[in-house]
Amino acid sequence: MSKTLFITGATSGFGKAIAQRFAKEGNNLIITGRRAERLENLKQELSKKYNIKVLTLCFDVRNESEVNDAIKSLPKEWQNIDVLINNAGLASGLSTLQDGNTQDWNVMIDTNVKGLLYVTHAVLPLLLKSKAPHIINIGSTAGKEVYLKGNIYCATKHAVNAISKALRIDLLEKGVKVTQISPGAAETEFSIVRLHGDEEAAKKLYNGYQPMVADDIANVVHFATTLPKHLCINDLELTSLAQANSYYTYKTE
Ligand code: NDP
Ligand code: 8X3
């Protein structure tokens, strides 16, 4: 049966691939992000190709009133949401804490932690109307281990890990599945954003091994939604074959 999904960060990388994966299965989508033109293009592509309904919502997850206004603006026919995918997020900067830039820290904490909380809080009343509500948080291997120069990004993903566990407890009596998917390195725009637009340096990070691609994560996220009602993947870590964990990646160059 077709579901309605609310996906944050659908303009790029994992979020876009997740939207494409669920569209292919005939689900209806609310796709969100800050870049309106990308959202509109994706809406056109998916609604035509798969004959599904797509609604775009353009907002910054860091802005609490923008988040609340956007979700309050949903037309009645879009107020039943079955799956919330908290994917929007970023790393900003790669440096030791002593050399860190406090603006980078604010952006990461505001987006990855507070943004995820604002969206979850605002979407939950709509999600609770579903017969099979499911929240999927995109965490990271950085939420399990801390690595050199990862400090604040890792802290935000550790927070996502804690929030996912807390939500699972708090929502237990409501029958909401809460799944955390924790990927290792995947080649998206993530490293370009982390390195403040330096595409060449970002590309080099993936030299000498095969990282995951966004479709890998989308397939796993989709799988997590196909289980029987009584069964929930709580936490799932995935990496490319070349990566053992945050510290060890086998590179040939
Ligand atoms: P991308 O940079 O390709 O995509 C990030 C998405 O997040 C974009 O759609 C962007 O949309 C959205 N986003 C960022 N900031 C905001 C904001 N303030 N408000 C609304 N949307 C925002 O990266 P990925 O697809 O790789 O990353 C997706 C998630 O996966 C992130 O949470 C990341 O931390 C996590 N992750 C990534 C890994 C990787 O190696 N790539 C590994 C593990 C986890 P827009 O700019 O249009 O607002
Ligand atoms: C992104 C993966 O290894 O850059 O969450 O932290 S990593």
Q: What is the pLDDT of residues 90-128, one digit of tens each?
A: 999 999 999 999 999 999 999 999 999 999 999 999 999
* Closest ligand relative to 237 C-alpha: 1
Please report which confidence band the pLDDT of residue 253 belongs to, taking 50, 70 and 90 as the band edges.
Answer: confident
Q: What is the pLDDT of residue 137?
A: 99
Q: Quick check: is 83 in a domain?
A: yes
Ligand 2 center from residue 94 Cα (angstroms): 11
pLDDT in tens, 212-247: 999 999 999 999 999 999 999 999 999 999 999 999
In a domain, 243, yes or no: no
For residue 230, report the distance from its CA to the centre of ligand 1, in Å: 30
pLDDT digits (tens, 9 = 90+) for 24-59: 999 999 999 999 999 999 999 999 999 999 999 999
Residue 249 belongs to some domain of the structure:
no
- Measured in Å, residue 189 CA sits from the centre of ligand 1 at 8
Q: Which atom of ligand 2 is nearest to the CA of 153?
A: 6
Answer yes or no: is 251 within a domain.
no
Say if 253 falls within a structural domain.
no
Ligand of minimum distance to the alpha carbon of 8: 1
What are the pocket residues of ligand 1 if the criterion is a CB atom closer than 6 Å to any ligand atom?
A: 8-15, 33-35, 60-62, 87-90, 111, 115, 138, 140, 183, 185-186, 188-190, 193
Are 246 and 141 a contacting pair, CB within 8 Å?
A: yes
Q: Give the closest residue to 111 by CA, choosing from 59, 182, 52.
A: 59
Task: Kindly tell me if the per-residue pLDDT of 1 is higher than 90.
Answer: no
The best mutation among 145, 149, 153 to test binding of ligand 2, ranked by most ligand atoms within 8 Å of the C-beta, falls on 153
Q: Would you state the torsion angle of the CA atoms of residues 64, 119, 32, 46, taken in this order, to the nearest 10 degrees?
A: -160
Of 179, 145, 138, nearest to 160 (Cα)?
Answer: 138
| Burial of 124 from C-beta contacts in 10 A (0-12 / 13-18 / 19+) | middle
DSSP 80-149: --SEEEE----------STT--HHHHHHHIIIIIIIHHHHHHHHHHHHTTSSS-EEEEE--GGGT---TT
pTM over 0.75: yes
Identify the burial level of 199 via C-beta atoms within 10 angstroms of its C-beta, where 0-12 means exposed, 13-18 middle and 19 or more buried: exposed
Residue 252 lies in a domain: no
User: Which residues have C-beta atoms less than 6 Å from ligand 2?
Assistant: 140-142, 150, 184-185, 246
Catalytic residue (choose from 147, 153, 209, 247): 153
Span 66-72, average pLDDT: 98
Say if 246 falls within a structural domain.
no
Q: Is 248 a catalytic residue?
A: no
The domain of 17 spans 4-238
Q: Is residue 247 part of a domain?
A: no
- Return the best residue to mutate from 12, 64, 116 for the ligand 1 pocket (most ligand atoms within 8 A of CB): 12
Ligand nearest the Cα of residue 39 is 1
The total domain count for the chain is: 1
- What's 140's domain CATH number? 3.40.50.720
